Structure formats: structure tokens, C-alpha cells
Structure 1
Amino acid sequence: MVELIISEKPSAAEKIAACFGKPTLKRLNGVKYWEVDNGRILIGSAVGHLFGLKKTERFYPVFNLEWQPSYSGKGASFQRPYFQTLKSLGKKADTVTVATDYDLEGEVIGLNIVRELLGLKDANRMKFSTLTSTELQEAYKNKAKTLNWGQANAGVVRHTLDWYYGINLSQIISKSLSVVLNRYQPLSIGRVQGPSLAILAEREIEIKKFKPEPFWQIFANLWLNSQKFQAVHEKDKFWKKLDADKIFAKVKDKSGRISEINKRKQKVVVPVPFDLTSLQIEAYRIFKYSPAMTLKIAQTLYTKALISYPRTSSQKLPKALNLKKIISKLGTNPTYQETAKEVLATRLIPKEGRKSDPAHPAIHPTGERAGTLEDPVRKVYDLIVRRFFSIFGQDGERETTTIKLDIEKESFKFAGTITTKVAWQKWYGQYARRKENELPQLAVSQVLKQNTELAAKETQPPARYNVASLIKLLEKQNLGTKATRSQIIETLVKRNYIQSNPMEVTD
């Protein structure tokens, strides 16, 4: 009996082969594959989708489609050797096991290889969330006897709907615009691309229609221990300049007396584990990496077996992961040794979020040795590791002190906020830093000198979306998938529908 195991990418095939012990590297059509157990197990690889939907009728609208090899498409000729190699290996095999990524896209990739390339109706299925040898061995041992048909059918439906929307609507809008312009002007639209662009266009319309309104604010500028603080009149915005002028003249450069001091403590809650969207948002906040760049880096870390599968919407870490073992392995890295030791001294109960994903847990490090990583990859890996540590911590605490200042019976307020308890933030390191604005020791009835400022301002239009805020909104409105949202934004940029960041819709 010969078994063929099919992975989604060559790097994953190599990891799967290695988990069996001492695989033998072979080549066919210039493509690598591996043999194990004296040739009784063959491990081959696709390079993403080897099949794509093509129309079988000439005129639009088109609703008759079929799966055809992708290598005939523009820029896809590199796929042909992989196609041919898997076909040849399939002829030798008595059984087939699909070991592509365990999500909708991976299921469709596996389904098409099994059905369209090998001519089979079904296959075994491996399920794994990391490419570590231990998990791959378990996935092989416990492989299902059938594909995940729920995922497979859902993936096929999504591809089909994307094609119906994208190709047919693109043809319609291209023809309509070409008639108006009296020349052919190709345009593209899609099931998710269209609504995403509409969100941005609607915001652009809001901005262009916005009419600013003038208002005035009165500030009392204070210098306390050589640090500037700014107290604002309790009314905040004055919509009539005459009202602002009267109070400004009344309080101008007059000393004020502290009438109240209020302190309020607030928790700094432990963060939850990363899912893909929150990782993309956090990497943008800290490093200004685009969501697409973050996903690419996370995929690299996954194929190196350093993190779990990144295309997940889960914020949960099941006990079966053996979190203690992961932390202990991370502790063998001198960079994380001290933090790992502190985390291991806790009860090891992770903070979890609401979101779950039946296919994969939250993004987490595997504990495997990282070795030397390129700077952007190292930064994202460090962010993931430190976030993982921090979810085992306790809530921190911040304290805000609000001062009420009386100037000629007019009330002004200013405040300062400091961290009073560092807890999980210590393990999250530089990524948890917040601005500290500490007030000096002050007392009720204390007199403070000030110089007064009357500032003329106007209301601002709603802000344009940046890549991170748009990704967050798309997820909230259930547009696209965790894996495709960043790609949609990249597509809108490439097609010159939007530009810059924050994103502005082009004319």
C-alpha cells in the first residue's frame, strides 16, 4: 500500500516529511517530493490553488463554470510542474491524505486535487494548527477518513459567488462606463470589494459635504514644576465668540484657586490572545505594518513552525495545547528566560476572548527555537510571544487625578494620569507603554498662577479610515474573511480606486 500526502506549499511538505524521521528527498519535473518508509509514504506539494473557475459559455452574464488547471493563466505557468508531479505520484498511490491548511481555502485546494487531478471522490484529512513535528505526528495518527465536506462545500460556494459577482458585475460596469466615455474603460468590482469601496466612498462624501463650524475654547496655561499643564474651561466649546470674549476678559491672567481634587482608579485589563484581525491592528499600531504585510510575516512564522496557524478568528487557547510546555520551551531563549520563569510561577490560567474558531486556536508561539530572523519577522514574532506571556498576568491599574480650578468664579479643569500598578504590562514590555502625565503634589485652596489663552477652532470632518480601522470595520460588518480582508485593501490600491493611508477614494 502506497499513501500520498498532499500539502499546500513546498515548505509545509518538507515539515510533514521531517516529522516521519528520515525522509528521502526526490525530484520529479524539477519539483521536490519526499519518500518515507521505503516509498510506502509519498509527500508532495501544491503551490496554492492548482485549479480555478473558468466560464464555459461565451456571452455575459455567465453562470456556467467549471474548474480548470490554473497553470494556463497569466503568470501561473510555474504551477504546471507541481500539477504534473502530483498527478504522477497519484498514479502510484493506493490512498491519498490531504494535509493542506485547515480552512476553506485549504479544503478547496485539497478537494480539487483529489477530484479534478486524481479523479477520486474523497480522501483522508489531516488537521493541524502548527507545523511542529509533535502536532503533525498526532494529526497523521488521528487523520479523518474523509475530507471536511462542510468546509469544502462552503469554499466552493464562496468561490462560485465571487466569480458570479466579480466577473459579471465587472463586465456590466465596464460596458456602462465605456458607453459614457465613448471608449473602452475596464473596471472591476467584487462581492466584498464593492461594499468595501462603498464604505470608503461614503466616508469621502461625508468629508466633502462637511461644513466646519467655528467655536472657541479658553485655556488656563499652568507651569507646575517646570512642566506645562493646560486647564480648559468647564464649558469646553463656546459657539458664540461674544460669550467666549466676555469670560476671557474676566479671567485673563488672573490666579486661580484649587476648589476640588478627585482621584479615580481604573483597571488596565489583561489583553486576550491574538486572532488574525487583532494581530494586524496591533502590528499597525506599533510598527505601522500594513495588514497584508503582517499576514505575510505571520505566514512565514507559521511555515517555520514558530507560531500556530495565523488565519484564525479564535481568541481561545484550549488546555490540550500544553501551555506550560510551550512557556518552558520559550524560556530556553535568553531573551524570554526571565519572563517565562515569572509566568510559570503563576496558575497558568490564560485570559481568553469571546471569539472562537472551530478549526484553529488563537495565534500563539510554539516554543520552537527561532534562530536568526529578519527584522520585520523578528518584531512580529516578539509581539506574538510577549502577547502570549501577558495573557497569563493580572490586571494593571491607572489613576487619574482631576483638578478643578476656580478663576474669578469660572471653573476650569485639568488632569494627570499615571500607572499605579504594573502587572501584565511588564510581560508585554514596550508594547504596553502608555503616556504618563504625573501631576505634582497639589492641595485644595492652593493658588496657582496662569496665563490665559483664547483659541479659535472649527469642527473637523469625520476621519478617513486607515488600513487598521477599515479591517476592524469589515470584520464587524462580516465583510470578507479573516484571510481576504487585507487582500481586498491591496486590490483597491492596485486598481487605483483608493490612495494614501488614511485612505482617500480617487476620482
Structure 2
Amino acid sequence: MKILCVAEKPSIAKEVSKILSGGRFQVRNSQNKYIKNYDFKFSFPNQANCDVTMTSVAGHLINIDFPPSFQWGKCVPGKLFDAAVIEKVLKQDIFDNISKEARNSNKLMIWTDCDREGEYIGYEIFKAANKGNRQIEVGDIWRSKFSHLERNHVLRAANNPIKLDLKAVDAVSCRMEIDLRVGASFTRLLTEGLKSKSIIDKGDVASYGTCQFPTLGFVVDRYKRVKNFTPEQFWYIQVDLEKDDVKCNFNWTRGHFFDRLHVMNLYQECLKHKEGKIIKLEQRRTTNWRPLPLTTVELQKDCSSIFKMSAKDALGAAEKLYNRGFLSYPRTETDKFPASFDFKTIFGRQKSDPRWGNHATELFDNGYENPRAGKHDDNAHPPIHPVNYVNINELAADEKKVYEYVVRRFLACCCKDAVGQQTTATLKWGIELFTANGLMVTERNYLDVYPYKKWESSKQLPKFQQGDMVSIKNGVMKDGKTSPPNHMTEAELISLMDINGIGTDATIAEHIEKIVSRSYVVKQKKGKVEYIIPTPLGMGLIESFDKMHFDNISLSKPFLRKKLELSLDQISKGETTKETVLEDMKMLYRQAYSISNQNMVNLVDHCKTVIQANS
């Protein structure tokens, strides 16, 4: 029996070959210098001592496009909604290598990443294999289910193959076709319109994407809120007390008012009293929760805010660590560990590290807490966690930060929550109430291994007793002004995209990178914080589309893309079909295209006005 195994990346093919063969394999070159063919023996279920060839692709093998008669300049963009779609091989040498290796194979086994995109790449691999051997049929494909490259995990995946998920394949195919038709039609329409008024240069492209523009819309909306913000003055009362040489500030429970005269009247009533009374003294145990298990979105957000690393760079570093067997698969929505997860083995592998090894040893020797369980499970991969140990001094700068962060987060998940003692004193001065708080952290627990979260003891309150009469050392009426929101950070943008269903956990970074590369936004550093600011062109595009009336459709808001993502989930679950979703989404976007086309002159003129006003 001859088995052809195909992985999604060359590094995965090499690592899996080492594990399945016990290190005893032969290597053959292919026409592509990065793609190797590994030959060895392995016994699969009910198939002992099989001849195995393991090879790989390098991402997608096949793309979809329009025929030559529908290329740019050869048809009006609106025709692309119903034009034929053809497949094009992206990497012919890799495609041919799979076809050649399949000729003498009895079985095809897919080793692509276990997500929706991986299923589709697996189907592309099938097409290449089927071209070389028509006896290989899609229903007979073995599909390995794995999330990291630990030896026993890979062996279990080899010995328990599943079927290729054709519903997931349909979902990706649907998304690709919608993105092609909508993106190409609107991009051509926009580009030609903007060039006609010299808003963009002759060689430039003003691209539109169903994720790209809602992402840009979030940035523009925040920018406008900051720009249009008008500060308002407010007034409040603050009380300073001192007892036993300990000073503390009491804050007014009413907060503040925008009516100066009203606050002045209340303050005048307070001034009639020289003393205040501690009417309530509360002490309670308070908890600072350890973090939830790590998802892709949280990884990108934290790396952005903690290390000032772009989402693209953070995910790229995590993928390199995964490909080398150090981390689990970094594209996951799951924030709960399965009941069968082997925590102690992971602790044991981290015990030798001088930075966090003592914490791993403590958990290994003296027990650990079961991690908190979140509400999300993509039923494909566990949360991101360390798999094998590596000395971080051997890693590149970004990989070092990401690996240490993932390890410390994993260990923190298995520690106890931090505990503190919260004291709240309530002061009555006249008829007004004021409160002061003090915090004593009594058990740091997870905070000791997780330095990215700060929770410190605050200045302690004086030793008040309930019923104490205290002299008012300083009771003042103060004023302030409301502050504008900050501009958008990348971490905030990732959160907004995730909440609104713009892209997936795996593609969020790509969409942000796209609006940067198109010069729709720029990144600007203010102090230690980097913000994302729209360019005049980005502002002009969003404001121009917002000015149109699309009958409950918006091209700059997240609703249409969120509807598509929900529909793709329904395809994956078998609740609807690819054909139904395609027709539904094409109808909505075709309607928006028609309105945009009819109003293109007004759109371009308004865009130019906005650009000039913001330049």
C-alpha cells in the first residue's frame, strides 16, 4: 500500500516525517527548491508497513479569477457579478509534484491546518492528486486532525484519520467568490472614478474589500469623534481628610455636574459643617481573575498593547514557533481546554527555564488549578499553549516575546486567582456622601508568573471606626473638562473587528495590513502609544460612501460582512447551501454597486472635497 501525505507547509512535512518515520526517511528534491519529498515506512490502521511519501504545498495551490474577456478594461465592472469564474494554478511546479507522486499511490492523506481554510487547501491538494491518479476520489481521502507537533499527538492524528469536511470547503469557496466579485467590481469602479479627477495617480489602485472598508470605517469613525469633540466644563466636590498622620481623598458619590450653580449650592450647604461622619466601613475580599486560555484575537491584542507589535508580526511569529513544534496551532477561537488535556506534561517541559521554571515546578509538584473556561470553542483547536520547550535566547526578537508571553499566560491560567482586601469608607459631610477606597493585595498567585497584568496595593486608609466624627481638613469645589476619546489603537481595532464579525481570527491582521498598504491609514506614535489615523484619502472614501443612500445597506459599516460570515457558518453546519448564500449576497452587493455607479460623479466630487479639507 502506497500512501501520499501532503502538508500545508514544508516545515510541517519535515517534522511529521521525522515523527512517523522515527527519523528514518529518505529525501528527494522536487522542481520547487523549497518542497521536498520524504519517503519512509509507517503502519496506519489496518494498513501495516505502508510505503509513505510525505510532501507539502506552500499555502493555496489554486486561485479563482475571471476569464480574459472579463479582465480590467475589457468589460464594465458591473458585469463581474455574473461573469464566469475560472480556476488558475498558482504554483504549477508544486501542483505537478503532487500529481506525479499520486500516480503510484493508493491513498491520499491530508495534513493541512485544521481550520476552514485548511479544509479548502486540502481540497485543492485532492484536485492535484486526482489529475495524476483518477482512482483517488474525494470521499476516500484521509484527513489528519492535529493542532501541534508533539510526537504522541502527531501519532494519534496519523492513527485516527477523519474525512475531509466538504461543507467547510463550500464555505471557503463561497467566501472567495464573493470577495472576488465584489472586490473586483467596486475596485475597478472606484479606481477609474478617482483617476478621472486626478485624486489618485495613474498607476495607483483604490481597492475595495468587504472586510477592508468596514475596518477603515472603524478608524474614520473614531477619528471624527476625536476631531469633532467639544469639551464641556463640569464641577464637583472633593474632600481631603487626615487621621493619625495618614492622609486620604474622598470622592463625591454624585460624580460631577455640568451646572456650576447647582454644585455651588450643595457645596455651600456642606461648608456649614466643620466635621463629617464615617457612616459606613466595609471590608471585603476581592479577586483579580487569572486570564482565560489564549485565543488568536487575544494574542494579537496583547502583543499589540504589551510589545507594540503589529497583529501581522505577532501572528507571523506565532506561526513560525508552531511550524518548529514549540507552540500549538495559533489560529483558534477556543478559550477552554478539553477535560482530557495533559497539563502536567507541559509543566514538566518548562521546569528547566531560569525565568519561569520555578513556577512550572510548583504547578508540577504541588498541583494546579483547572483553567477558567471561556464561552468559545471552534471544535478544531485547543487554546494556544506551549508544546515543547525552547531556550528563548535562541529565538528571533519577536518570536522570543511571543513564546515567553504564551508560556507565562499558560502557566498563569493554571495558577490561583490573585486575592486582595478591599476597604471602603463612606463619609457623610452635611447631606452629601463621599467614599474612599484602599486595597491590600494579600495573595499575588498568578501575578508572580504573569508580569503583563498589574494589580498593586494602594495607599491604605487611616484606621477609621464606623461612627467616627472627623475634621474636614480640606473640602473644595473643583472644576474640570470632559476629554475626547483617544484615536484608535491596533488592539482596539482588533477588538472591534472581532466583535463585529469582520474577517476571522486568522485574517484580521491581513485586513489591517491592507488598509495600511493602500495608504488609507497611517500609524502614528504619540508618547509610547501607536495610533491608527486615517489619511485624507481614507477619510474621503468612507465619508463619500456614507453620504449615499443604500436602502439599509452600508459599504463602510460591518453589517454586510457580518451577514456573510454568519452565512458561511451556516454552510459549514449544513443549514444552508453555497448557492443560496452566493445569490443572496450577490443581490445585496449588486444593488449597492448600481447605486454607487449612478452616483459616481457625486461620490468622486465629495471625496475630493473631503481630501482637500483634511490635507
TM-score, L = length of structure 2: 0.73
Deviation at 1:215, TM superposition (A): 1.3
Task: Indicate the SS of the match to 1:429.
Answer: coil
Could you tell me which residue of structure 2 aligns to residue 177 of structure 1? 194
Tell me what 2:222 maps to: 203
C-alpha distance in 2 between matches for 1:453 and 1:378? 51
The CA deviation at 1:470 is 1.9
Partner Cα separation in structure 1 for residue 512 and residue 275 of structure 2: 52
Equivalent-residue separation in structure 1 for 2:303 and 2:35 (angstroms): 35
Residue number in structure 1 paired with 2:582: none
Q: Distance in 2 between matches of 1:174 and 1:117?
A: 40
1:230 shift after superposition: 3.8
Residue 493 of structure 2: SS of its match in structure 1? helix
State the Cα distance separating 1:117 from its structure 2 match: 6.3
Is 2:167 aligned against 1:150?
A: yes
Does the alignment pair 1:363 with 2:384?
yes
Q: Secondary structure at the match of 2:494?
A: helix
- State how far apart, in whole Å, the 2-side matches of 1:259 and 1:16 are: 69
2:36 is aligned to 33
1:3 aligned partner, one-letter code: I
The residue type paired with residue 391 of structure 1 is C
| Alpha-carbon displacement from aligned partner over 1:43-77 (angstroms, at most 9, x marks no partner) | 21211122221111412332321221225xxxxxx
Residue deviations 1:461-489 (CA, integer Å, cap 9, x gap)? 34433211221222222221110112111
Q: Does structure 1 residue 290 correspond to structure 2 residue 292?
A: no
Deviates more, 1:176-185 or 1:311-320: 176-185
Among 89, 111, 124, which residue is 2:123 paired with?
111
Q: Give the secondary structure class of the aligned counterpart of 1:321.
A: coil
Deviations 1:359-385 (A, max 9, x none): 111112224445622343223222222
1:44 partner amino acid: T
The change in CA–CA distance for 1:34 and 1:226 in structure 2 (over 3 A counts) is farther
Residue 268 (structure 1) aligns with: 288
- Post-superposition shift, 1:299? 0.9
Aligned to 2:610: none
Give the whole-Å Cα distance in 1 for the aligned partners of 2:223 and 2:14.
48
Q: Which amino acid is 1:33 matched to?
A: K
2:165 corresponds to 1:165: no
Find the counterpart in structure 2 of residue 416 from structure 1.
Answer: 438
Deviation, 1:104, is 1.7
Residue pair 1:97, 1:124 contacting (<8 A) in 2 also? yes
* Partner in structure 2 of residue 395 of structure 1: 417
Deviation string 1:172-220 (CA, Å, 9 cap, x unpaired) is 2223334455875631111111222223333333334433222133444
Partner deviation per Cα, 1:314-340 (whole Å, 9 max, x = no partner): 112223332232222333445444323
The residue aligned with 2:25 is 23
* Residue-by-residue CA offset, 1:100-147 (whole Å, 9 max, x unaligned): 111122222221132146525423211100012222222112223x42
Moved more, 198-207 or 177-186: 177-186
Distance 2:419 2:452 in 1: 16
Whether the 8 Å CA contact 1:18–1:133 is kept in 2: the answer is no
CA, structure 1 residues 132+422, in 2 after alignment: closer, same or farther (shift >3 Å)? same
Q: Which amino acid aligns with 1:189?
A: Y
| Letter aligned with residue 373 of structure 1 | L
- Residue 535 of structure 2 is matched in structure 1 by 506
Q: Which position in structure 1 is the counterpart of 2:539?
A: none
Match in the other structure for 2:342: 322
Identity %: 25
Q: Shift of the alpha carbon at 1:302? A: 0.9
What SS is found at the alignment partner of 1:503? strand
Q: Secondary structure at the match of 2:13?
A: helix
The range that moved more, 172-181 or 134-143, is 172-181
Q: For the residues of structure 2 that align with 1:421 and 1:18, how far apart are their CA atoms?
A: 45
User: Which one of 507, 514, 517 corresponds to residue 491 of structure 1?
Assistant: 514
Q: 1:43 aligns with which of 54, 57, 64?
A: 54
CA deviation map 1:265-306 (0-9, x unaligned): 332233321111122223333323232222112112211211
- My pick for the range that moved more, 130-139 or 207-216, is 207-216
| Corresponding residue of 1:130 | 148
The one-letter code sitting in structure 2 at the alignment partner of 1:104 is: R
- Equivalent pair of 1:50/1:109 in contact (CA under 8 Å): yes
Question: Quick check: 2:409–2:450 contact (8 Å CA) kept in 1?
Answer: no
| Structure 1 unmatched ranges of 5 or more | 72-79
For 1:40, the aligned partner's letter is D
What letter corresponds to residue 35 of structure 1 in structure 2?
A: Y
Q: Does the Cα contact within 8 Å between 1:324 and 1:348 map onto a contact in 2?
A: no
> Counterparts of 2:122 and 2:251 in 1: how far apart (Å)?
63
What amino acid is the match of 1:300?
K
Give the TM-score of the pair, scaled to structure 1.
Answer: 0.87
How far apart are the structure 2 equivalents of 1:297 and 1:94? Answer: 37
> Any conservation in 1 of the 2:424–2:436 contact (CA below 8 Å)?
yes
* AA at the equivalent of 2:436: F
Distance 1:117 1:2, change over 3 A: closer
Which digits, 9 at most, give the CA deviation of each residue in 1:390-438, with x for residues without a partner? 3233333233323344567654433222323333334x43133313213
Amino acid at match of 1:480: G
**Secondary structure class of the residue paired with 2:421:** strand
User: Would the aligned equivalents of 1:25 and 1:32 in 2 still touch at CA under 8 Å?
Assistant: no
Contact 1:192–1:480 (CA under 8 A) maintained in structure 2: yes
Q: CA deviation at 1:355?
A: 0.6
Match of 2:605 in 1: none
Residues 334-345 of structure 1 aligned to structure 2 (within 5 Å): 334-344=354-364, 345=366
SS at match of 1:320: coil
In 2 relative to 1, CA 487–477 (structure 1 residues): closer, same or farther, beyond 3 Å? same
Higher deviation after alignment, 159-168 or 179-188: 179-188
In structure 2, relative to structure 1, the CA distance for the partners of 1:498 and 1:394 (3 Å cut) is same
Q: Report the Cα distance in structure 1 between the residues aligned to 2:501 and 2:269, rounded to whole angstroms.
A: 54
Partner Cα distance (1:45, 1:255) in 2: 82
Match of 2:65 among 54, 79, 89: 54
Q: Is 1:430 the equivalent of 2:430?
A: no
* 1:26-46 deviation line (CA, Å, top 9, x unaligned): 223334424333793222121
Structure 2 spans left out of the alignment, 5+ residues: 42-49, 524-529, 537-615
